[in-house]
């Protein structure tokens, strides 16, 4: 698309590795650190009991771990394998019934071959010789061992996760003290930023998550809870569930510019000039705060703001008042996508803005922006975003409507490519306007002063005719012309004589 700079990566692998090392050493470890995952597998006898001719829950767990180990997204990731409920123990603090098979390390062929020993017909015998089974264990100690694996590692980690494979919903039975300690240790994991995922497998009487694991699992905010509460009875279901949890969900940012294509031209305000030099005069206002008792000058640190609520005076510091005005950092956050037909004309709230990529601020923004624009045009969808234009400004919800580039016959750009930023109304902005109905009179006007002859005839009946016969003569015609009566001495030929005085 014209006007956008293309971005092509030309750096070598060595430069990329050096850049990653520099970021890990000095940058933010949230994005530059390593991703670490510990597979925590229940090794009790219940995991080796098959409900049918299919694989046992332990076999499904081992194959799932192998699948994740073979398909990794980065060679800098760290994986480990820990078994609990074993007869033998192998850990740094000699906790009973906990066996660390693989320490945190980069995925390699040796780890996969170690897991192959637990597959096939001899898996039960090999596992019995290496670890054995025992149900007397403490889940809090198991979680503490996993947390210590993360803390003992020397590199910075951006994502720490424990994936628990088990088919036992009540590991401690009636021992409430071990259950409470497990919940406390799970809370410590939550405070340190370690995610605990439950990958429970199907059992004969059903898996009741409310016994222990409802209060112990700790998942990320953007993960689907339905994935965690579903039992896995087949290997395909377990692989789908694990891969959905292991998918990385990092934030992706691009740099964009927003402009207003149409703006009303306003008359500029008057500028005051100094009479002698014609220099612009600036008005500066200074506000001084004094103590009413001592008349001493008060500094900004000496003043506070208060709000009275139910006869209680709430005092706020300056920093607290600024935090109340702060909603989030300025920018756009993608919320999702909707079909273009769902954007109606009556959703118009204010004039829209135009959004375009800014390659100069963040390299690669135009590439991702153009890809997003092309896909939105092909699928005929709009992007719903949360928009904060400036600091201390309330958030808006906007729709990014894709706009295709338009060229004329001379290949001159008429319409630029980009997104139209359309503001969406809130519930308060949608008002039910009353309809005003206009009735047009199509009838002839009626004089209400005239008597209602039909109503009177219907009410009086024959009394009207009798009254007319008594009052009017027989030859009376009400519609006829009235003749003027003359006196007897006023004939047509008679004239009055003239009298002289």
Count the neighbouring beta carbons within 10 Å of the beta carbon of residue 420.
Answer: 16
Instruction: Give residue-wise pLDDT tens across range 354-390.
Output: 999 988 888 888 899 999 999 999 999 999 999 999 8
Q: Where are the strands (E) in 61-190, listed by range?
A: 78-84, 98-105, 157-166
Per-residue pLDDT, 13: 43
The confidence score (pLDDT) of residue 485 equals: 65
Nearest to 36 by CA among 73, 67, 64, 61: 73
Q: Dihedral of the CA atoms 132, 135, 140, 142 (nearest 10)?
A: 10
pLDDT at site 116: 80
pLDDT of residue 1: 45
Most confidently modeled range among 8-22, 182-196, 378-392, 439-453 = 378-392
For the segment 66-97, what is each residue's pLDDT rounded down to a tens digit?
777 766 656 678 888 899 988 888 888 888 88
* Averaged pLDDT for residues 187-211: 79
Which has the minimum average pLDDT: 88-97, 131-140, 204-213, 344-353?
Answer: 204-213
Q: Please give the model's pTM, rounded to 2 decimal places.
A: 0.52
Mean pLDDT for 178-202 is 85
Residue 224: what pLDDT? 54
**Environment class of residue 245 by beta-carbon count within 10 Å: exposed (0-12), middle (13-18) or buried (19+)?**
buried
pLDDT for res 493 = 53
> Which pairs from 388-392 meet CB under 8 Å and 24+ separation?
388/327, 388/328, 388/329, 388/330, 388/331, 389/258, 389/330, 390/330, 391/326, 391/329, 391/330, 392/322, 392/325, 392/326, 392/327
Helix (H) or strand (E) holding 227: helix 225-228
d(CA 244, CA 467): 104
* Integer Cα distance of 232 and 370 in angstroms: 40
Q: Which two tokens stand for residue 102?
A: 């693989």
> Strand pairing of 381-388 and 396-403?
antiparallel
- Give me the DSSP letters along 273-307: B-TTT-PBPPP------B-TTT-PBPPGGG--EEE
Q: Which of 9, 30, 264, 495 is catalytic?
A: 30
Q: Specify whether 495 is catalytic.
A: no
Strand partners, 383: 337, 400
> For residue 288, what pLDDT is reported?
84
Q: φ and ψ at 186, to 5 degrees?
A: -65, -35
pLDDT number for residue 232? 66
* pLDDT tens string 460-470: 878 877 888 88
Statement: residue 23 has pLDDT above 50 = no
Question: Rounded to an integer, what distance in angstroms lies between the CA atom of residue 182 and that of residue 212?
Answer: 8
What is the pLDDT averaged over residues 31-46? 79
- For residue 439, name the pLDDT band (cuts at 50, 70, 90): low
What is the model's pLDDT at position 413?
86
Q: How confident is the model at residue 20 (pLDDT cuts 50, 70, 90)?
A: very low
- Residue 166 pLDDT more than 90? no
DSSP 402-432: EE--EE-TTS-EEE--EEEEEEPP-TTT---
Structure tokens that stand for 180 in this block:
């409470």
Higher pLDDT, 76 or 484: 76
**Domains (ranges, CATH) in the chain?**
34-248 (3.40.50.410), 289-324 (4.10.970.10), 331-423 (2.40.290.10)
High-pLDDT (> 70) share of the chain, %: 78
Q: What is the pLDDT of residue 25?
A: 44
Q: What percentage of the chain exceeds 90 in pLDDT?
A: 12
- 34-42 and 78-84 as β-strands: parallel, antiparallel, unpaired? parallel
Helix crossing, 235-246 with 57-70: angle to 10°? 40
**pLDDT level of residue 31 (50, 70, 90 thresholds):** very low
Helix and strand numbers, DSSP H then E, in the chain: 13, 15
Q: In degrees rounded to 5, what are phi and psi of residue 198?
A: -100, 120
Q: pLDDT tens digit string along 279-329? A: 999 888 888 888 888 888 888 778 888 888 888 898 888 888 888 888 888
Q: What's the CA gap between 179 and 185, in Å, rounded?
A: 10
Q: What is the pLDDT of residue 27?
A: 43
What does the alpha-carbon distance between residue 85 and residue 136 come to, in Å, rounded to a whole number? 7
Mean pLDDT over the full length of the chain: 78
What is the H or E stretch that residue 20 is in?
A: helix 13-26
Top-ranked range on mean pLDDT: pick from 88-97, 103-112, 252-261, 379-388: 379-388
């Amino acid at each position: 698309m014209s006007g956008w700079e293309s971005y092509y990566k030309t750096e070598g692998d060595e430069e990329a590795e050096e850049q990653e090392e520099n970021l890990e050493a000095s940058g933010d470890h949230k994005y530059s650190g390593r991703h670490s995952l510990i597979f925590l597998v229940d090794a009790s006898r219940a995991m080796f009991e098959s409900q049918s001719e299919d694989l046992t829950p332990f076999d499904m767990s081992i194959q799932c771990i192998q699948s994740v180990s073979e398909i990794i997204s980065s060679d800098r990731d760290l994986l480990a394998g820990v078994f609990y409920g074993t007869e033998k123990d192998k850990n740094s603090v000699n906790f009973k019934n906990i066996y660390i098979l693989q320490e945190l390390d980069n995925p390699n062929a040796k780890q996969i071959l170690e897991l192959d020993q637990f597959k096939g017909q001899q898996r039960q015998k090999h596992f019995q010789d290496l670890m054995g089974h025992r149900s007397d264990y403490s889940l809090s100690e198991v979680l503490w061992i996993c947390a210590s694996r993360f803390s003992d590692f020397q590199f910075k980690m951006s994502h720490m996760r424990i994936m628990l494979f088990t088919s036992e919903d009540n590991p401690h039975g009636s021992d409430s003290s071990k259950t409470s300690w497990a919940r406390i240790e799970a809370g410590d994991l939550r405070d340190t930023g370690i995610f605990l995922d439950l990958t429970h497998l199907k059992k004969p009487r059903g898996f009741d998550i409310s016994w222990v694991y409802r209060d112990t699992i700790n998942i990320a905010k953007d993960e689907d809870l339905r994935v965690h509460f579903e039992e896995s009875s087949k290997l395909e279901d377990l692989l789908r569930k694990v891969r959905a949890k292991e998918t990385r969900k990092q934030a992706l940012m691009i740099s964009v510019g927003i402009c207003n294509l149409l703006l009303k031209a306003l008359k500029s305000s008057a500028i005051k000039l100094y009479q002698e030099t014609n220099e612009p005069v600036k008005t500066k206002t200074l506000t001084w705060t004094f103590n009413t008792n001592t008349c001493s000058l008060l500094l900004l640190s000496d003043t506070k703001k208060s709000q009275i609520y139910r006869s209680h005076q709430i005092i706020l510091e300056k920093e607290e008042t600024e935090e109340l005005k702060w909603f989030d950092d300025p920018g756009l956050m993608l919320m999702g996508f909707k079909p273009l037909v769902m954007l109606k004309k009556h959703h118009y709230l204010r004039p829209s803005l135009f959004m375009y990529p800014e390659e100069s601020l963040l390299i690669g923004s135009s590439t991702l922006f153009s890809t997003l624009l092309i896909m939105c045009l092909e699928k005929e969808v709009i992007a719903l975003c949360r928009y904060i234009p400036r600091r201390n400004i309330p958030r808006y919800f906007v729709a990014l409507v894709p706009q295709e580039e338009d060229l004329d016959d001379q290949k001159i750009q008429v319409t630029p490519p980009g997104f139209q930023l359309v503001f969406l109304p809130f519930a308060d902005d949608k008002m039910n306007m009353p309809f005003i109905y206009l009735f047009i009179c199509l009838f002839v006007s009626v004089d209400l002063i005239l008597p209602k002859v039909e109503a009177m005839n219907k009410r009086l009946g024959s009394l009207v005719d009798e009254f007319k016969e008594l009052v009017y003569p027989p030859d009376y015609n009400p519609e006829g012309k009235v003749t003027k009566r003359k006196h007897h001495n006023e004939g047509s030929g008679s004239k009055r004589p003239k009298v002289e005085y």
